[in-house]
Amino acid sequence: MNSHTVREMLAGPAGAIECALDAPAAAPAGVAVICHPHPVHGGTMDNKVVITLARAFLQIGFRTVRFNFRGAGGSQGHWDEGRGEVDDALAVIAAQREADAPFMLAGFSFGAYVAAAAAKRLAEGDKPQRMVLVGPSTQKQAMETVPADTIVVHGESDEVVPLSATLDWARPQSLPVIVLPGVGHFFHGQLSLLKNLVVQQLQRPIA
């Protein structure tokens, strides 16, 4: 993401997992783990939306961890249709989170599906303080339900995941969805808007 980004490998269930770590200038307020879009369709931890989410978390003082799912980038292993990718996320969370420190979890597209599934499998005391899901893959994946304070952002003109699919997923949960008018799946030309929106939502007190 910048010259201060640290790249490292950590042990995962299918082999080494490639990670990119960024830290704020001051002592971190916590750690945020961010999951990338579908690896079969070219998604990696260097996706622009994933980097934008990392920048949002850095702005509020969190250390950020991006990582490549098995078979993507420098990570070992092979695509596992979403099952093993959730295991990868859980391995990164276990390795990177710090005891008693705030922990947040985010994902874009397929990565939002993985983040929600990983959060569901964490023990009650280990669950993320907040989640941020952008353009969640609600049409092709069976998205888990999420906490009421989850931040969900979707583009009105999303050409990959129809807004209607995300509203259908959110409706039974009475879960608010922030819709950006005229914006497509990859937030082309709107990444600054997305970052500022996520920062504002994360800084807003939870009701």
Ranges of each domain in the chain: 6-203
Q: Residue 2: pLDDT above 90? A: no
For the record, the structure tokens of 170 come out as 């959110």
Of the given ranges (28-37, 95-104, 182-191), which has the lowest mean pLDDT? 95-104
Whether the per-residue pLDDT at 145 is higher than 90: the answer is yes
Beta strand pairing call for 6-12 and 15-22: antiparallel
Across the range 184-189, mean pLDDT stands at: 98
Say whether pLDDT at 43 is over 90: yes
- pLDDT tens per residue, range 4-28: 899 999 999 999 999 999 999 999 9
52 has pLDDT over 90: yes
* Furthest CA-CA distance within the chain: 44
Retrieve residue 206's tokens. 């939870």
Angle 188-150-171 from CA coordinates, rounded to 5° = 90
Q: How high is the mean pLDDT of the chain?
A: 96
Residue 46: helix, strand or coil by DSSP?
Answer: coil
Dihedral sign for Cα atoms in the order 83, 198, 10, 16:
positive
Alpha carbon separation from 166 to 25, 45, 137, 194 (Å, rounded): 36, 23, 8, 18
pLDDT-derived band at 207 (thresholds 50, 70, 90) equals low
- Could you count the other beta carbons within 10 Å of the beta carbon of residue 61? 15
Local structure of residue 140 (DSSP, 8 states): T
Residue 206 has a pLDDT of 67
User: In this structure, which CATH number among 3.30.70.1400, 3.30.70.250, 3.40.50.1820, 3.30.70.870 belongs to the domain 6-203?
Assistant: 3.40.50.1820
The model's pTM is 0.97
